[in-house]
Amino acid sequence: MHTKLLSEYDQPAVKLALSAFNQVLAFNHTRELTAAKSVPPTSLIYHYTTADGLKGIIEKNELWASSAYFLNDSAEITYGYGVLKEVLDDWLAKGRPKESTTVRLAQDLRKAFGEHPLNKDVIPPIYLACFCEDDNLLSQWRTYGQSGGYSLGFKVPPNVFTPKGFEPEPKTYTGEWVRVVYDRSEQSKKCTAILEPLFAILDNPDTERAIATITDNPLCGYSKFLRVIVDILLDEIVSFKNEAFKVEKEWRVVVRERELNKQGTDDGGATPLAIHFHVSRGILVPHLRLIPLDSAKKLPIACIRSGPTLDKTTAGMAISLMLDKNGFSGVQVEGSDISVRF
């Protein structure tokens, strides 16, 4: 089978398509610069976990980013897909020309996010490590309280371009902070704020003809546009959550293989992806390890609070002993003062 060389594509069409593709990249670059201002509001962010979770984090010096499809609320990720699908449906309902590139793109995005959201060949795997702005939150203690529960305070970088102190173990994956958005109207506006400028770039007869002419071009053909736009949308909608959870003030480190922000060298799958598994609620849950940037250093843990059902003195003593044994220093240890029954 003949593999088409890049020089064999219609060069004027390539030039037009590349121009449009560069506009998409410029749009995304501007978004990333804005996102640099979107970091947690304090110097610390808190991860809630069980006694077993705390023990694993300290003894193994690692965090887990669990598969997004196995969270406590399995609808968390598909919820965001549903918001985007509604925005796309509204856009398609406005009588666009059926043969246009933008209509085709909207329909393909709808299929990817609305009809086949769990198909890993359409939407790549996503792993999340979840945090809250508050280290003493009643709703979180209710989740972990019956088995004790702990909140770990992690130091927060000043912006998204500063290393977090940990990174995904798979070298082709990257992790980025996102603030969870709970307001439905804001979620829809965020989707629209991405789709409208990108559709406008492609809504040009010359650009449409160029993309159609070189549709299988690996650098600027239609499939490349689709993958990149999916990539841009994914980091946005993975931050969407039902308003009922807004008290959590959640932040996430979203870990996945990104089209436009690659880490390390992609060897084409020659190195097996470092996926691990743990048991939660009686089922196997895939996870990736988040490890220190420098293997000789510890995770950036600043403080640990034990939950309200634990005796503060004995819990604090055990935490301190475990920290000392595993080489963690300068970590503040305290207990919750909330009076509560479970």
Per-residue pLDDT of 194-211, as tens digits, reads 999 999 999 999 999 999
Please, are residues 152 and 57 in contact by the beta-carbon 8 Å criterion?
A: yes
Q: Which residue(s) pair with 48 in the sheet?
A: 151
Q: Residue 262 — pLDDT band, cuts 50, 70, 90?
A: low
What pLDDT does residue 122 have?
47
Q: What is the pLDDT of residues 230-242, one digit of tens each?
A: 999 998 999 999 9
* Phi, psi (rounded to 5 degrees) for 32: -65, -35
Confidence of residue 336 (pLDDT cuts 50, 70, 90): very high
Q: What is the pLDDT confidence band of residue 292, given thresholds at 50, 70 and 90?
A: very high
Find residue 277's DSSP bridge partners.
286
pLDDT attached to residue 117: 52
Q: Give whichever of 14-23, 38-47, 64-73, 123-132 has the largest mean pLDDT.
A: 14-23
pLDDT of amino acid 115: 60
- Which token pair is 15? 């030039």
Dist. CA 194–CA 64, nearest whole Å:
30
In eight-state DSSP terms, residue 96 is -
| Partner residues linked to 181 by β-bridges | 240
Burial (CB count within 10 angstroms: exposed 0-12, middle 13-18, buried 19+), residue 1: exposed
CB proximity list for 172: less than 8 A, separation 6 or greater = 257, 262, 263, 264, 265, 266
Residues in the chain: 342
Q: Which two tokens stand for residue 59?
A: 């003894």
Residue extents of the structural domains in the chain: 6-264+273-335
pLDDT tens for each residue of 127-181: 999 999 999 998 888 877 566 799 999 998 766 555 578 889 877 888 888 889 9
CA-to-CA distance for 274 and 65, rounded, in angstroms?
12
Phi/psi class of residue 243: alpha, beta or left (left: φ > 0; alpha: ψ in -120 to 50)?
A: alpha
In this structure, what are the phi and psi dihedrals at residue 39, rounded to the nearest 5 degrees? -130, 160
Question: Could you tell me the sign of the dihedral formed by the alpha carbons of 155, 65, 49, 77, in that order?
Answer: positive
Percent of the chain with pLDDT over 70: 87
Structure pTM?
Answer: 0.88
Question: Between the CA of residue 266 and those of 20, 30, 269, 271, what are the distances in Å?
Answer: 26, 26, 7, 9
The crossing angle, in degrees rounded to 10, of helices 184-202 and 11-35 is: 150
The packing angle between helices 101-110 and 75-92, to 10°, is 150
**Residue 339 in this model has a pLDDT that exceeds 60:** yes
Query: Residues 81, 117: contact at Cβ < 8 Å?
Result: yes
CB 129 within 8 A of CB 290: yes
